Structure 1
Amino acid sequence: MPTLGKLWAGRVYGTNTGNVFVELDSSGERVTGTVRLMDTQLGLTVYKVTGSFDGMLRLKGEPTQVRSGITAGILEITATLTPEGSLRGQWNSSIGTGGTFELYPHDVPPPPDQRAASAGAIPEQIFTSNVSLGSVRLYAKELWELVNFIRKDFIVGRPVVTYTLRGNEATKYFEDFQREAGTFGELRRIKINIQELEAHGINKVVTIGLNATGQNEIQVQGINESWVIGKAEAIARTLRPFERRLVTTYKKFGLTLNEFIFLAMIVALPSIESIWQRMAFATVAVILLSGLYWFHSKFIPNTVIYLSGKEPTVFQRAWPSILSWLSAVTASLAAAYFFYLLTRSTP
């Protein structure tokens, strides 16, 4: 008979949806345990269950903890142990609710005979989705909301935060980081990571890296391709409102092909009399655009996270975009003035 693990975690579907964590103790065919269901709408319900396992798991139990104002009936569960080592089955209650569920082992790896069967049934593989972000400005409240969003699909995984403060790098659990964040002022580099075990002994992972002088990126990994792609895109949509568009454009593209085509057109402008003057103007324009890109890279950070308890002022929120616009306008005026110098004596 296959070995039944002690700790299981997974998802519940049907009239109720949410995360579920199950602790089972087995002696022969007899099974007892605890089922903890975190419903996405109704909160936590805890059941004490008893039953049997003879290749088919059958459990029945009553609720021992229910959110105030919520009615929970007697729970009945039937499930089979798949070749991959997970439990899949159906659930229903005495009040008419029901659905399906899937649980993955979180303590003992499957025995060798099950691992061999698993290898022949479904190949073990991992999917990765990377999404690049532009220049990002976040405040404490927005960062807390982001972390709470990424942890929704994790049952036992805890977010870990790595950050750089005054030249020193530190790594802490999110709860510890949050307690101390008010003393940090602002951060220019942070990485948030959360992971937990899935089937086949493979971890599902979400990593968000934000760096003032580097690349801002989301990376999601797991064995479920649709979840990986969907989670990465959902996190990206959550962060898009906090991107600074003009800064992002310069950071991401710099001098693009379109700009070079535009400069080539300028060289041929009939308003400039001499070909050497046209070349001089094109050279100055390239230098100005290169300088503008360097200025954005050097003085306008790709990421700033404000963690002080004070509500940010309008100027604090707007200064990166204002500085970016001013630098762009200054470069444009400088190019226009040089063009004027070259053409003012032209009849």
Structure 2
Amino acid sequence: MASLANRWAGRLYGTNTGNVFLDLSQDDQNISGRLRIMDSIFGVSIYEYTGTIDEEIVLNCTPSQTVEGVELGEVVVRGRLTQQGNIRGEWESTIGTAGTFEIHPHDINSSDPSAKDTNPEQIHNKTVQLGSIRLFKDDVVQLVDFLKKDFSNGRVIVTYSQRGSELTKYADDFLGQLDGIVQLNYIKLVIQEPEAHGINRVIVVELVANGNSEIRVSGINESWVLGKAESILQTLKPKQNSLVTTYRKYGLNLNGAIFIAMLIAIPDIEGWKSRAVFVISVFLLLNFLLFIHNKFIPNTAIYLEQVKPSFFKRAWPSMLSWFIAVSSSVIAAIIFSILKSGSS
């Protein structure tokens, strides 16, 4: 039986791609250890595993450390030892991802007896949530240039949605060949390059139409990770629409005022039927306000046909938010007046 106790490093391919590193301890046919994966997009994840060695090498991996906001499943790895001394095989997770891999032995002690038993350094991850974002062509160019700072070889990769499908291009090609793209409501920017120990440092900026837009930074240098995440946030902060962000997060204060006014006004309406009509009308108005707001004011809007936006282009989401809210207040007041006069 082959002795596989060693450090192994290599690559994985398939639905996920990236670097892989594992410590392997062996007791007869039983093996165990820790597996580290540096995903090209989602960053570092760590698994604990146990397994067996026979004609086939089998590892059963359970997540022990994850990247914020990334779902991981349990993974089964199956491989065979090649004539060259590598392990090659396939992997599959419980969340449906799968692929192939190849790893190579890295016995640093045999090549350098004085070398210390060291593991790759700790990986630091930082996730920052963003509010409602409005970007124009100049803003996208500025963001791409800012992401490239601190990267000597990495290139920014852009993924965006168009006509129901996702397209991925290098940022230079994306900006140089917009192909008549007028507006986007989803975009993801990714840049990475190797650091020490073969681990990549990664920046992901993902702006979505619905849900939470995020900045994700990963690397072995904690100060760089925290500083880069904060600097990207400060770059995008002026592009955030505070009113739309507040509404999506908490609801407009005017909505609360409408609700409180409803509670105060109910005693002035005689008859439980009229009161019920008033309460139902107010709740329908508030839900209609939320629906219209989400329908016509997306969380992310990127206007690529304009380099320098006009004041109205920047301000219209806030103006529309206030107009919808004020209109709802006026309608609620009219309903109250009708019901009150009808019950008197």
Common fold by TM > 0.5: yes
The residue aligned with 1:49 is none
The amino acid across from 2:209 in the alignment is A
CA contact (8 A) 1:181 1:308 kept: no
The residue aligned with 2:36 is none
**Structure 2 counterparts to residues 1-347 of structure 1, below 5 A:** 112-113=108-109, 120-121=117-118, 124-181=121-178, 183-254=180-251, 263=259, 266-267=262-263, 269=265, 270-308=267-305, 311-344=308-341
For 1:289 and 1:118, the matched residues in 2 are separated by: 67
Map Cα deviations across residues 308-338 of structure 1 (whole Å, 9 max, x no partner): 2554333333332222222112111111111
Residues 264 and 223 of structure 1: CA distance in aligned 2, closer, same or farther (over 3 Å): same
The amino acid across from 2:316 in the alignment is W
For 1:261 and 1:315, the matched residues in 2 are separated by: 28
CA contact (8 A) 2:136 2:303 kept: yes
CA contact (8 A) 1:161 1:177 kept: yes
Residues 143 and 272 of structure 1: CA distance in aligned 2, closer, same or farther (over 3 Å): same
CA contact (8 A) 2:192 2:203 kept: yes
Structure 1 unaligned residues grouped into runs of 5+: 1-108
The amino acid across from 2:200 in the alignment is N
For 1:148 and 1:176, the matched residues in 2 are separated by: 14
**Displacement of 1:260:** 6.9
Instruction: Give the greater-gyration-radius structure (CA).
Output: 1
For 2:211 and 2:204, the matched residues in 1 are separated by: 15
Q: Taking structure 1 as the reference length, what is the TM-score of the superposition?
A: 0.60
CA contact (8 A) 1:161 1:172 kept: yes
Between 247-256 and 190-199, the greater mean CA deviation after superposition: 247-256
SS of residue paired to 2:149: helix
% same residue: 45
What RMSD, in angstroms, separates the aligned Cα atoms of the two structures? 3.3
Residues 225 and 311 of structure 1: CA distance in aligned 2, closer, same or farther (over 3 Å): closer
CA contact (8 A) 2:134 2:240 kept: yes
Structure 2 unaligned residues grouped into runs of 5+: 1-104
CA contact (8 A) 2:136 2:307 kept: no
For 1:198 and 1:117, the matched residues in 2 are separated by: 24
Q: Taking structure 2 as the reference length, what is the TM-score of the superposition?
A: 0.60
Between 202-211 and 308-317, the greater mean CA deviation after superposition: 308-317
